[in-house]
Amino acid sequence: MINSCYNINSKSPDYIATHAMAIYKNSFLSSGGFQEGWLPILEDVEFSHRLRRSGHQLLVNPKILVQHIFNYSLHKSLCNAIKKSRYWTQYSMKNQDLLDDSGTASHELKTNVVLFYALLVCLTLVPFNGLLFGPLLFLGVIVNLFTNRRLLTAFYSAYGSLFSLRAMFYYFCVYPIPVSWLANTSSMRRHFARPV
């Protein structure tokens, strides 16, 4: 998923992840390096945004593959999704770029999350009006599959059809919950509750 998201905008990525970043020492130091005492994660996003604002160009070379081993169980993956999304939302709201296409916080993922909840509503309402909500449900699934076609192709290319089916189920039916509602309610509450 991460590889697919980064390679979409390889000529002008939003940020470079720390685990795959190569930078001259002088450039790193003269740019101020990573911010201390900032958020506990997303230092690479903030640093990359600062580099871009100061005129540096970021590039992703799809030929260089970096393996970032998480060794996550399902539980750890969900906890990581909540943590990252909470801080990502906090950061994005502060910078007023919540809807921007940003690496793994891509337009594809944001579309998936919105459609997940819309399809959940449609699924709930199908028994009351199947003629209206049945086609809407079908249309939403088609739009989501089309929007995320690059990621689905990447899943299939990486590990075949069985992995693709499992990954699709996780991405479409499970992942939207921790990266949206569970994480973002606390971030938004914290953002709007802070003193002006």
Which carries the bigger pLDDT value, residue 5 or residue 187? Answer: 5
Confirm if 14 and 51 have CB atoms less than 8 A apart. no
Distant-in-sequence, close-in-space partners of 4: CB < 8 Å, separation ≥ 6: 150, 151, 154
pLDDT for the residue numbered 77: 86
Rg (CA), the chain: 19
Band of the pLDDT at 6, cuts 50, 70, 90? low
Band of the pLDDT at 196, cuts 50, 70, 90? very low
pLDDT for the residue numbered 104: 61
Q: Considering only the C-alpha atoms of the chain, give the largest distance between any 2 of them, rounded to a whole number of Å.
A: 64
pLDDT for the residue numbered 162: 94
Pick from 134, 85, 137: nearest CA to 109: 85
- Over residues 17-34, the pLDDT tens digits come to 888 888 999 989 999 999
pLDDT for the residue numbered 117: 92
- Over residues 155-178, the pLDDT tens digits come to 999 899 999 999 999 999 999 998
Give the domain range for residue 107: 2-193
When divided into structural domains, the chain yields a total of: 1
- Over residues 107-123, the pLDDT tens digits come to 888 889 999 999 999 98
- Over residues 90-110, the pLDDT tens digits come to 888 787 777 676 666 778 888
- Over residues 21-77, the pLDDT tens digits come to 889 999 899 999 998 777 788 888 889 888 988 888 888 888 888 887 878 888 998
**In this structure, what token pair is assigned to residue 61?**
């070379």
Beta-carbon count within 10 A of 142 CB: 10
Per DSSP, 102 falls in state: B
Claim: this prediction has a pTM higher than 0.85: no
As to burial, measured by CB atoms within 10 angstroms (0-12 exposed, 13-18 middle, 19+ buried), residue 140 is buried
